[in-house]
Amino acid sequence: MLSVTAMFFVGGIFAFLMRLELLTPEGDLFTSDTYNKLFTLHGIVMIFFFLIPSIPATLGNFILPIMLGAKDLAFPKINLLSWYLYMIGATFGIYVIVTGGVDTGWTFYTPFSTQYSNTHVFATTLGAFIVGFSSILTGLNFIVTTHRMRAPGLTWFRLPLFVWAIYATSMVMLLATPVLAITLVLLMIERVLHVGIFDPSLGGDPLLYQHLFWFYSHPAVYIMILPGMAVVSEVVAAFTRKKIFGYKFVAFSSLAIAFLGFLVWAHHMFVAGISVYAAMVFSFLTMLVAVPSAIKVFNWTATMYKASVSWQTPMLYVLGFIGLFTIGGVTGLFLGALGIDVHVTDSYFVVAHFHYIMVGGAVMAYLAGIHYWWPKITGRMYPEWWGRLAALLVFVGFNLTFFPQFIVGYVGMPRRYHAYAPEFQVLNVLSTAGATILAVGYVLPMIYLIWSLGWGRKAGPNPWGAVGLEWATSSPPPKDNFLETPVVKWEAYDYPAFLKAMGETQHV
Amino acid sequence: MFNEFPLWPERASTVAGHVDLLFIALIFLTGAVSILIWLAILYFAIKYRRRPDNELAQEYEPPQILEIAWTVIPLIIFIGIFLWGAWLFFRMQRVPDNALDIYATGRQWMWKFEHSGGQREINSLHVPVNRAVRITMASEDVIHSLWFPAFRVKADVLPSRYRVMWFQATKTGTFHIFCAEYCGTWHSGMGGWVHVVEPTEYQRWLAGGSEGSMASQGEKLFQKYACNTCHTNDATGRGPVLAGLFGKTVALADGRSVTVDENYIRESILNPQAKIVAGFQPIMPTFQGQVNEEDLLKLLAYVRSLGGGQAPSPVGSAASTGGAPVAPQKPKVSAQRPARPITTFVSSSRSGRGTISTSTSASSPGCSRKITNGSASSTCSP
Amino acid sequence: MSDVALHTEEHHPFLQHHFEDLGQQHEASTLGMWMFLATEILFFGGIFCAYTIYRIMYYEAFRAGAHHQNWKIGTANTAVLIGSSLTMALAVWAAQMSRRNLTVVMLILTLILGGVFIGVKAYEYSQHIHEGLFPGRLFTYVDEEHPELTKGVEMFMTFYFGMTGLHALHMVIGAGLLIWMIFRARRGDFGPEYYSPVEIMGLYWHFVDIVWIFLFPLLYLLH
């Protein structure tokens, strides 16, 4: 978790430097090359080294076995191997940063990446390749654990929704990542040997690269957001003290997202040269994948009806998540509608859209999850007041940063621009101001969470009065998670039954 | 004020209004739903906040019909959005019949435009107002993307094949050209201005400079590369007769058939063995690496100028030219521009052949490469 | 560990502490291997997909490329590999039956056959490199009859080396695992209760064979 969070800050620093550059229309702070490297490294670090492993590899590794009533993941050694692979991959990433960077954009589009760029493309792709295996192994571990290691009485429909969503995520990791791996291998072969696989001047096809790349990288979006939804389902249930409305719909919508997510990759390529009919099919499927996400949002909202809503930090992050994810989701409809996509694709509108999903969604959920399970992991409470302040700062800063980008994108500012036309400046200044607030909002939790390790109030087994097996063991849990294997007799999020069961076995 | 701090892009083409309409409709629709959700969340969060008397939530299950409702209703709405967007996309892809042809090549890091009369511009483009313009594009190196925000059109420019886009400007003025696909160091500098002018002014501008029309330059190249030794004007040559060929569907040696479009011609020059026309030997050498993108476009313009697509009765015309076996023409859908009927081609060599003159255009790279140069009335106009 | 032992009546030496019993452990490891193989299928699937597309694009050149493969050597090697699959299957069966010596012999046979396969492959590689068929700077080959096919032949050879190279890499990893299995089998680790390592080793080995069964016709036989 520390490694992943460190990566988040590395990526965040790049982002902040970029925003600083974009304060003025002229490229005056950095050279174009430096700027190009900054956004490339920002993308690579954030996506491959932070967002993809963030929730699954940190919270998932810790919470998933406890939720299942298992002593550990099915393959602890493979889990360790996965961490080593991550660190090796990250070492390549850091090597690239230190020795001069890479400037292809995180998408490594050919033929630019194979023939024209003279930066460290090879080391970067190798790093991404290795991290890919780390995520495959994590996914494999989760699936097997969920299938084979549930506690007695814990049937599929008694599983917490966190498990359902992580399970769906793992499926995506397992089935999509190898395609990226082989694509990157082909890219490395082309770059080293100068043979035409994707480079048209040597007889290759650059669109094939895009197809293969997005076949992974679109599902990868769901690798990032599904765990976020997983956390949100847990936190909403815990802080409303209520059963999630439409449990089965929420559970199956995770699987539906994972499945449909495999069928929409070409919506990144509407203007790239695919046929009109292919574009229509992919646009239609894109509309379909929006439905399960909408279901989730409606269900979370409905859960709050006649609930007992507590305004504690994790819940604040989650309320922020629902609000921001809604914006991110509906702007996805704009992009999925072909006629608009032609205009706004590759503009700042897209940048704003996926930041609303990735940062407003995944990162907010990550913070919510860290705060929610912090007492369980460390046995200490963080300072509540500071937590609320940070949540508020993040929310305000985030909106100020990214909302103007929707406008500037529609007006016509293309993405990945080092210098831009002067009429876009006002909105860019707003955005940079927002990024400053956002940065403060992110640094605060780091400070007070570390502080709480030493001086935080001791947390009991169940500081939130929440349901779920993880709250039935001590904080932090013993080595095998439970002193004796728990037997589950209650439905998911069944407060009265759970509290009754806990009352009987509280002495454990 | 509006020019310094625009919140809405200028609307200067026939499709721009449609795009804006759909965009605004979606803003209202999704805005309403989002605001409803936010209000609901806020209302619930305040109304049902935790107080001593509701430490535990009430035992209340909303009716299941709600679940069905918010699965089905969004689905229907989304399909509606899809249909609207797809309809618009279809419209954006179908090039009108009488479009004016302009050729574009992208390279790191500039746009080169060439009018069918042979006039060339760099990072600047003159087009007449109220006339459909079709741009045929290729890249010399990496993937670029040509974007006219004011026209709401954009297309990636690939190094491997031709892409076609079109627009019809509706008002005069000067608007941005951007490269929207990251292409290297000076990606952000790869832009310029499109000058939409009155037709008369356009003609005047065209007369300003040219090196002979695209097609006539193509004809010279055709002789330079000795294409004419095999592709003769009658059926005696070793290669298919090119006159009247463009836009036809021809049978191939392996039994398939192919429509002679921009990409087929390109492929036949660069990789002649890929699709051999029935009745011919695979003897043509490849010109990969010998002909650059600009010359390829000129050759293409020349082959286009030999006609083929204008007459809707291709069987007769094919017979009269005595050319290669040409299958009866069907409005077949090609990979790149399926929506455009193949009879829309307008000969480029006969329209607006400019006089031969020295300089290209008044817009030099120095003036238009700096997109930060400022307002519309800069020195970029001719 | 001690509190775990309280709950499992007979504590098998190879039961890992976080599993309830050997059955659960066996199921988990088998499922894990199947999941891993699903990943592998997609991994190879990507390159098969690219191969197919380019085969259609450069039909003639790929045909010409396949002529550079010696189908006799390929067939012999296929037979060797299928033989190793057989011995592997027998090894799993022997491990289940607690026949320690037979297990060891079968595993060693599998290893030898795998080694033969790799050796033959290495010989083929050296031949290709000698002919100047290795893509990139070493590619000196020119198709005399149809010089225009040269580029496509190079692409074919790229796929040839890429696909068989990946396959050979899997074989080498498999050989490493086999050596470990032989060591454990000699120690007498396996029996009717506990044989999952040999079994999942077998799954892996069969998978690698199946990949070859697809590669062989694509690269050697399709003229």
DSSP codes, A242-264: SPPTTHHHHHHHHHHHHHHGGG-
Chain C CB contacts of A138 under 8 Å are none
Q: Kindly tell me if the per-residue pLDDT of A508 is higher than 50.
A: no
Q: What is the mean pLDDT of residues A467-476?
A: 80
- Going A195 to A197 to A201 to A202, the CA torsion angle's sign is positive
Contact B89 A338 (CB under 8 A): yes
Closest chain B C-alpha to A72 CA, distance in angstroms:
32
pLDDT, tens only, A204-218: 788 888 888 888 888
- Check B71 against A249: CB less than 8 A apart: yes
Most confident of A474-488, B297-311, C46-60: C46-60
Residue pLDDT, tens place only, C74-123: 888 899 988 999 999 988 888 888 888 888 888 999 999 999 999 988 88
**In the B/C pair of chains, how many CB contacts fall below 8 A?**
11
Whole-angstrom distance, CA of residue A302 vs CA of residue B41: 9
Q: C-chain residues within 8 Å CB-CB of A175? A: 38-39, 42
Q: Could you read off the pLDDT of A383-439 as tens digits, one per residue? A: 888 999 999 999 999 999 899 889 888 888 888 888 888 888 888 888 888 888 888
DSSP A458: B
| Chain B CB contacts of A326 below 8 Å | 33-34, 37-38
For residue A101, what are the CA distances in angstroms to A123, A194, A480? 10, 22, 43
Measure in Å the smallest separation between the Cα of A486 and chain C Cα atoms.
12
DSSP B276: P
Tens digit of each residue's pLDDT (9 = 90 or more) over B313-337? 333 333 333 333 333 333 333 333 3
Q: Answer for the pair A342, B152: CB distance below 8 angstroms, yes or no.
A: yes
- Tell whether C53 is within 8 A of chain B (Cβ): no
Tell me whether strands B163-168 and B249-251 are parallel, antiparallel or unpaired: unpaired
B123 DSSP assignment: S
pLDDT at A178 over 80: yes
Instruction: Tell me the chain B residues in contact with residue C151 when contact means C-beta distances shorter than 8 Å.
Output: 288
> Which residues fall within 8 angstroms of residue C29, CB to CB, at 6 or more apart?
A74, A75, C196, C197, C200
How far apart are the C-alpha atoms of B12 and B14, rounded to whole Å?
7
Determine whether B63 is exposed, middle or buried from the number of CB atoms within 10 Å of its CB (0-12, 13-18, 19+).
exposed
CB-based contacts of B23-29 (< 8 A; 24+ apart in sequence): B23/A334, B23/A340, B23/A410, B25/B84, B26/A330, B26/A333, B26/A334, B26/A337, B26/A340, B26/B81, B29/B77
Question: Is the CB of residue C135 less than 8 Å away from at least one CB of chain A?
Answer: yes
Contacts of B274 in chain C (CB under 8 A): 57-58
Q: What would the two tokens of residue C16 be?
A: 């890992």
Minimal-distance CA residue of chain A relative to B147? A343
Q: What is the pLDDT of residue B356?
A: 30
Q: Do the Cβ atoms of C42 and A192 come within 8 Å?
A: no
Dihedral sign computed on CA atoms, order A158, A159, A160, A164: negative
List chain B residues with CB under 8 Å of A345. Answer: 154, 180
Nearest to C30 by CA among B360, A152, A82, A140: A140
Cα nearest neighbour of A69 on chain C: C18
Size of interface A-B (CB pairs under 8 A): 295
Report the pLDDT value the prediction gives residue C148, as an integer from 0 to 100: 67
- Please write the tens of the pLDDT for every residue from B174-183: 899 999 888 8
B33 touches chain A (CB under 8 A): yes
3-class secondary structure per residue, B162-227: CEEEEEEECCCEEEEEEECCCCCCCHHHCCEEEEEECHHHHHHHHHCCCCCCHHHHHHHHHHHCCH
Give the best-scoring range by mean pLDDT among B131-140, B224-233, C65-74: B131-140
Contact partners, residue C34, CB within 8 Å, separation at least 6: C203
B65: contact with A, CB 8 A cutoff: no
| Distance (Å, whole) CA A461 – CA A458 | 10
**Which among B45, B67, B154 is the nearest to A304, CB-wise?**
B45
Q: How confident is the model at residue B350 (pLDDT cuts 50, 70, 90)?
A: very low
Over range B285-299, report the average pLDDT. 79
Q: Which residues in chain C have their CB less than 8 angstroms from residue B286's CB? A: 148
Alpha-carbon span A250 to A302, nearest angstrom: 12
Supply angle C-alpha C125, C127, C132, rounded to 5.
Answer: 95
CB distance A67 to A469 below 8 Å: yes
Contacts of residue C27, Cβ cutoff 8 Å, sequence gap at least 6 = A148
Amino acid identity of A226?
A: L
For A203, which of C7, C42, C155 is closest by C-beta distance?
C155
DSSP for B296-364, please give it.
HHHHHHHHHHT--SS-S-HHHHHHHHT-S-EEPP--PPPSS-TTS-GGG---STTS-PPPP-S---S--
Q: What share of chain C is helix, strand, coil (3-state, %, to 5)?
A: 80, 0, 20
Residue B248: both structure tokens together: 């036809």
Q: Tell me the three state secondary structure of residue A476.
A: coil
When pLDDT is averaged across residues A106-113 and rounded to a whole number, the result is 80
Q: Which residue of A has its CA nearest to C30?
A: A144
Nearest CA in chain C to A181: C43
Query: Which amino acid is present at B320?
Result: S
- Residue A139 to residue A149: CA distance in whole angstroms: 15
Average pLDDT of chain C is 81
* CA C101/CA C115 separation, integer angstroms: 21
Asked if the Cβ–Cβ distance from C148 to B273 is below 8 Å, we say: yes
Could you give the CA distance from residue A21 to residue A418 in angstroms, rounded to a whole number? 8
Mutation for testing the B interface, residue in C53, C148, C149, C155 having most B CBs under 10 Å: C148
Residue with tokens 């695919």: A274
Q: Which regions of A393-497 does DSSP assign to beta strands (E)?
A: none
CA distance to A73, A92, A93, per residue, from A51 (Å): 21, 18, 15
| Pairwise pLDDT comparison (A483 vs A328), residue with the higher score | A328
Q: Report the residue from C17, C40, C139 with minimal CB separation from A71.
A: C17
- Per-residue confidence band for C126, with pLDDT thresholds at 50, 70 and 90: confident
Closest residue in A to C43 (Cα–Cα)? A178
At residue B308, the pLDDT reads: 60
CB–CB contact C148 B286 (8 Å): yes
Query: CA of B4, closest CA in chain C: separation in Å?
Result: 49
> Which residues of chain A does B45 touch, with a Cβ-Cβ cutoff of 8 Å?
304, 309, 311, 319
Candidates B161, B286, B287, B290: best to mutate against C (most CBs of C within 10 A) is B286
> Left if phi > 0, otherwise alpha if psi is -120 to 50, otherwise beta: which for B333?
beta
- ipTM value: 0.83
**Predicted confidence (pLDDT) at residue B102 exceeds the cutoff of 60:** yes
> Given pLDDT bands bounded at 50, 70 and 90, which one contains residue A501?
low
- Please indicate whether, in this complex, the C-beta atoms of A290 and B74 are within 8 angstroms of each other: yes
**E strand or H helix that includes residue B30:** helix B16-47
What integer is the mean pLDDT of B339-362? 32
| Residue C39 distance to chain A (closest CA, Å) | 6
Say if residue A404 is preceded by a cis peptide, omega within 30 of 0.
no
What is the percent of chain A with per-residue pLDDT over 90, rounded to a whole number? 7
Of B136, B145, B75, B142, which Cα lies nearest the Cα of B101?
Answer: B136
Residue B74 preceded by cis peptide, ω within 30: no
Mutation to test the B interface, candidates A207, A248, A283, A346, most B Cβ within 10 Å? A346
| Residues B66-95, mean pLDDT to the nearest whole number | 88
pLDDT band at B345 (very low <50, low <70, confident <90, very high): very low
Nearest to C43 among A143, A148, A178 (CB): A178
In this predicted structure, what is the pLDDT of residue B204?
Answer: 83
As given in the structure block, the two tokens for residue A148 are 């084979």
By C-alpha distance, the chain B residue nearest A106 is B182
Tell me the mean pLDDT in the region A303-326: 88
A32 vs B3, B82, B186: nearest CB: B186
Summarize pLDDT for A276-301 with one digit per residue, the tens: 888 888 899 988 888 999 999 998 88
Option in A75, A196, A208 nearest C53 (CB): A208
Most confident of A116-125, B264-273, C194-203: C194-203
Average pLDDT of the segment spanning A68-96: 82
Separation CA C167–CA C121 (nearest Å): 11
Which ranges of A337-383 does DSSP label H, i.e. alpha helix?
338-344, 348-357, 364-378
Contact criterion met (CB < 8 Å) for B160 and A307: no
B188 in Cβ contact with A32 (< 8 Å): yes
Q: What is the pLDDT of residues B189-225, one digit of tens each?
A: 888 889 999 988 888 888 775 556 777 777 778 877 7
Chain B within 8 Å of C3 (Cβ-Cβ)? no
Query: DSSP letters of A413-427?
Result: PBSS-SS--GGGHHH
CB B294 within 8 A of CB B114: yes
Residue pair B157/B146 in contact by the 8 Å Cβ criterion: yes
- The residue written with tokens 């460390």 in the block is A378
Q: Which of A164, A170, A320, A329 is nearest to A253 (CA)?
A: A164
Q: For residue B196, what pLDDT is reported?
A: 92
Tokens of A291: 């439905």
Query: Chains near C, with 3+ CB pairs < 8 A?
Result: A, B
Q: Which pLDDT score is estimated for A353?
A: 92
Best to test chain A binding among B60, B81, B175 (most A CBs inside 10 Å): B81
Measured between CA atoms, the residue of chain C closest to residue B271 is C148
Instruction: Count other C-beta atoms under 10 Å from residue A99's C-beta.
Output: 11
